Structures are given as C-alpha cells and as structure tokens.
Amino acid sequence: MSTMTTPEVMLLPPDANHQRKGIRLSRLAPLILMVSPAILWLLLFVVAPLVYVLVISFLKRGTYGGVVASFNFHNYLRICDPLYLNIYILSVIIAAGTTMLCLLIGYPFAYIIAKANPRNKNILLTLVMLPFWTNSLIRTYGWIILLRTDGTFNTLLTCVHLISHPIQMLYTNGAVMLGMVYTLFPFMVLPLYSSIEKLDHSLLEAASDLGAEPWRAFLRITLPLTVPGIFAGCIQVFVPTLGYFFISDLLGGGNSMLVGSLIRNQFLAARDWPFGAALSILLIAFTIAVIRIYNHFSGSSLGNI
Amino acid sequence: MSGQKKTLTYLLKAAFVTLIYIFLYLPITMIIFFSFNTSKLNIVFKGFTFRWYSVMLQNTGLMSALWNTVIVAVSNVVISVFIGTLAAIGMFRYEFKGKNIVDSFLYIPIVIPEIVMGISLLAFFHIIKLNPGIITLIIAHVTFSMPFLVVTVRSRIAGYDMAVEEAAMDLGATRLHTLLRVTLPIIAPGVLAGAMLAFSLSLDDVIVSYFTTGPDSTTLPIYIYNKVKCGVSPDVNAMITVIVIATMLILFVLRTFETKNSKNDQI
C-alpha cells in the first residue's frame, strides 16, 4: 500500500534557532539516541538494497542465474524489445482503465458521502475501509469463487436462464481490471473525499444565488477545486496497478502478463536479475516522474523526492 | 414536483451507494458463506455445517501460516513503534543537518512500488547471506511500516504545544521522567493510531512478503496464494471467517475506546 502523505509543517521549540550554533554534546546525545536507529534502518534496508538493484541493472546475468560483473547497458536496451513492448502497452492500458473506472465510480460516491450528514458520514467512511482490513489476496480469492466458469455468477445466470452455457469470466483482462478496481478503490475515494469535504459550501450557494444551474456550478466550481484530490487519487491507483502481479496472476491467468509479473519472473523464474533490476529502475523512474508532475501541478508536495 | 424530484434523486443516490457497498463486501461474503457448506467445492451450497472449523484446527500447514502471520505482525508493531516513535520525537524536537535527507529516506518506502521494495530486499538479503525466513520477513515489514509510524506520530505532535515539556523540566523533572510522564502520554493516541496502521499494513501485505518469505515462514496470504491455483478447501474459508470476525471485534473495541478517550479530552 503506498499511501502518500503530505509532510506537515515542522514546528520547532522557540529556542532551537538560538542554540543551533552552540549545540553541546549533552543536547546532541538524546538526538543521536532517538533518530539514529531509524536512520540506520533506512540506510541498511531501503537505501542499500536500492543502490544494489541499480548496480546489478548494469551487470550481466551469470550462466547459473547469478550476477557477473561486467558493466554494460544491455539490460536497458533489452527493454525496448518488441516482445516486452506489448507487456508495457497492456499494463498501461489496464492501469489507465482501472484509474478511469475508479475515478468515474469513486467521484460520485465520494461526493455523496462527503455531503451526507456528519453522523452517517463517519459510518459510511468506516464501511469503505472495513473490507480493507482483510488481506487483498484473500479478497481476490473471493472474486475467483464468484467468477469461475463453475462459479457463483455463472451458476446464478444459468439458473435464471439468462445464459445457456457458462461464459468465460475468470482469466480475462476484464477480470484483472475488476480485481484492480476493487483493490485500489479506497485509494481513489479517500483523497477525493477529503478534497470534496474541504470545499467551501458558500461558493456553491453564491453560484446558485447568481443564477448558475447546478451542473454549471459543478463544472465551474466543484470540479476545478477538487482537482488536487483527483490527481492524488489517480496517482495512488495508477502506480500500484503496474506492480500488483498477484491480481493479474490469479484473475488473468497466463493471459495477461503485466510489468509486475514480468519483474517477478525475472527474479524468481527466469533468474535474470540484471534484466529484472533494469525493469525495476524504470518503474521507479516512472513513479518519480509521475509524482514530480503531480507536485508541479498541484503546488503542494507529495514527499520530498 | 420539486418534492418528487428530490425523493427521486435521493433514491438514485441511495441505490448507487448501496450497489458500491455490495461490490465492496461481495467477495468476503462469498468466502464466509462457503465456509458453512457441506460440499468440498466452493460452487453450490449443499447444506449447512460447522465441520470445516474443526478440520481447520487439524490442518497444520494452515495453523502454522496463521501463527507466522501473527508473529510477524506483532514483531513488526513492536519494532516499528519503538524505532518510529523515537525518531518522530527526535525529528520534531531537534533541528539538525541532513534532516531533509532523512525526510526523503522516510518517503522512499512510502512512494516506491511495493514490487521494487520486494525485489530489492530479496537481492539484498541474498548478498548479505541472510536466509529467507521469519527474520527477513519481519525486517521487510518493519521497513515499510516504520515510515508510516513516524509520519502518523509526527502529525500528532505537531498539534501539541511542547512547552509543557520545558515546564516539566523547569519544575525539576529529569529528561527521562519528562519523556515518560509528559511526552509519551501526549503522543499516546498518535502512537496507538500508528501501531494500528503498522498492524494492518502487515496483515494486508502480499507483495513484499512474497519476495522475502522462506519455505518455513509461510504466512496466510502466501499459503493461500500457493493453494489457489489447484483449489482451496473450505477449511481455509473457515480460517478467513474467524480472522474477519476477530478483526471486526478488535476494531470495534478500539473505536469505542477511542471515542471514549476523545470525550475525556474535551472535558
């Protein structure tokens, strides 16, 4: 789950600036004691592994799956192979489709919840989050029960004679998209909800007093003011979709190979770590680019990268 | 006319919202429903039974997966709370060189795709010769949970006037005493929220666990992932049902506890 959080304004005790120059060891010691475990942890298990991945992305695959030290750009050139191009195109289509669907369903949904009366609002919001306390893989398994050829949907549809033969629902791109929308839906709803809730209601009243039709007021006021929420929601759905290999694996079978499954296979099945590392670096670069674009357009910042 | 129109929009809204909630709850409901099915296949409901709940207890693979999941989640919460809370207080209270860099480090695990974190840890554990198992799993979980803890606790402190700390020390309290009696009670709700978040992140994770688990440290999601392709037996459904009910109960208790606390705050 990659929830993005806006860094909060840092408040400092009033004397911090005064003493900055002459920090004595007695003042420094508690700071080191408090912050260094976290810093060491992050250096060891976040920075070092990522640097290692960057390094092996320039190396060569060994005969038995290991890594051989020989500097080259081969892995990055291989990314452009038409064989893999189709995988990226399919991934982007599915990720974009998932994002659009989440937005189209999520916006009216978040709007209705944000405008509900305060007591219901909390209950409605909790009800959105509640299923997400159950593991996403378990919920994906629930979809398999529903979508299988002999599953609940097909059985029900055959019983009411809407279809004569079970139709293929599982192992299709549609099933993958459904699973993605289902899993990432709250990541769209939460930012939308908070941006709609913050909306100054008097603006809409002013618009209606001045004779604006409700739909016009929505297009000219509500929608532009909630753009940051829309952006944040879209990023939080689009980026994870590229990496959620277990959903495309379980609901798409062999039929939909996405970037996530490709990376997984390089590390576990094909044991071509350098190529998998190059694909991962590309995914990081893409993520950073998306976040930068977001920061540029929204004015606020999503992390300091 | 206008009244009728209002009723109509209300009904439409209610229908839409209800449909979304059905969509959100359908998969879990199906799993629970089939845990009471006499048939071994999760296809047609043949009859009602509790049999799978006793079968579940005898399934050693499943029980050890549950045990591993709990161990990892609890260790993750303990370590993340300890490291994360200290860092949050330290970073809030002191200004130091390189604070921006630490901030960036904290945001990396929050924003990078989980699969990248998974493979980078897999590769890293391989070169430092740490065999995949329960230890690597706990390390991985702390790595993605701890930054969230720092952020949660820090946003909680930001709302408080820390002059009370100085007041305590002026009145003769030692640093340790101030930390235990003044600072910690103030940030306790933030720490509790962070701990809950860390626990739920741990329970929900599939991707990072997939890359850092070993053959002896299978957690529940990994167990199900391995079984799903060749068919899951209903005792797994029974286990999921127990977990879902337990989670709801814990959340309910914590929520009542929280509202009670916030009422006390207001007085």
Show the domains of chain A with their CATH numbers. Answer: 82-298 (1.10.3720.10)
With bands split at pLDDT 50, 70 and 90, how would you rate the model's confidence at B260?
low
Give the span between the Cα atoms of B38 and B59, in whole angstroms. Answer: 18
Angle at B263 between CA A130 and CA A197, to 5 degrees: 50
* Cβ-nearest to A142 among B17, B28, B109: B28
Give the span between the Cα atoms of A12 and A28, in whole angstroms. Answer: 16
Q: CA of A232, closest CA in chain B: separation in Å? A: 12
Write out residues 51-70 of B within 8 Å (CB-CB) of A.
Answer: none
- A38 and B247: CB-CB below 8 Å? no
**pLDDT tens profile B163-174:** 788 888 888 888
**pLDDT tens profile A46-92:** 999 999 999 999 988 876 667 777 788 888 888 888 888 888 888 99
Give the 3-state secondary structure percentages of chain B, helix then strand then coil, rounded to 5.
80, 0, 20
Reduce the DSSP state of residue B223 to 3 states and report it.
helix
**pLDDT tens profile A271-291:** 889 999 999 999 999 888 888
Answer with the residue of higher pLDDT: B72 or B197. Answer: B72
Q: Where are the domains of chain B?
A: 51-266
- A182 and B111: CB-CB below 8 Å? no
With bands split at pLDDT 50, 70 and 90, how would you rate the model's confidence at A10?
very low
Those residues whose C-beta lies under 8 Å from the C-beta of residue A135, and which sit 6 or more positions away, are B203, B204, B205, B206, B220, B221
Its ipTM equals: 0.87
Mean pLDDT of A118-134: 86
Give the closest residue to A242 by CA, choosing from A81, A29, A89. A89
Q: CA of A225, closest CA in chain B: separation in Å? A: 22
Mutate to test the interface with A, among B12, B16, B20 (most CBs of A within 10 A): B20
The pLDDT of residue B266 is 44
Give the closest residue to B145 by CA, choosing from B125, B186, B122, B117. B117
Angle at B91 between CA A52 and CA B81, to 5 degrees: 75
Q: Which helix (H) or strand (E) holds B48?
A: none
Give the span between the Cα atoms of A1 and B203, in whole angstroms. Answer: 11
Give the span between the Cα atoms of A182 and A176, in whole angstroms. Answer: 10
* Cβ-nearest to A287 among B83, B103, B113: B113
With bands split at pLDDT 50, 70 and 90, how would you rate the model's confidence at A223?
confident
Q: How far is CA B214 from CA A37, B48, B59, B218, in A?
A: 26, 37, 20, 7
Q: CA of A12, closest CA in chain B: separation in Å? A: 6
With bands split at pLDDT 50, 70 and 90, how would you rate the model's confidence at A34?
confident
With bands split at pLDDT 50, 70 and 90, how would you rate the model's confidence at B238?
very high
Chain A residues touching B139 at Cβ < 8 A? 45
Q: Is the pLDDT of residue A143 over 90?
A: yes
The pLDDT of residue B262 is 61
**pLDDT tens profile B85-132:** 999 988 887 777 888 888 889 988 988 899 999 999 999 999 999 999
- Decide if B145 touches A, using CB distance below 8 A: no
Beta-ladder partners of A67: A61
Q: Is the pLDDT of residue A103 over 90?
A: yes
Q: How far is CA A76 from CA A158, A276, A285, B237, in A?
A: 50, 10, 13, 44
Answer with the residue of higher pLDDT: A23 or A255. Answer: A255
- Of the candidate CATH numbers 1.10.3720.10, 3.10.105.10, 3.30.70.580, 1.10.645.10, the domain formed by B51-266 belongs to 1.10.3720.10
Structure tokens at A88: 């990226």
The pLDDT of residue B76 is 97
- A151 and B43: CB-CB below 8 Å? yes
Reduce the DSSP state of residue B99 to 3 states and report it.
helix
- Decide if B190 touches A, using CB distance below 8 A: no
Mean pLDDT of B46-59: 87
The pLDDT of residue A116 is 87
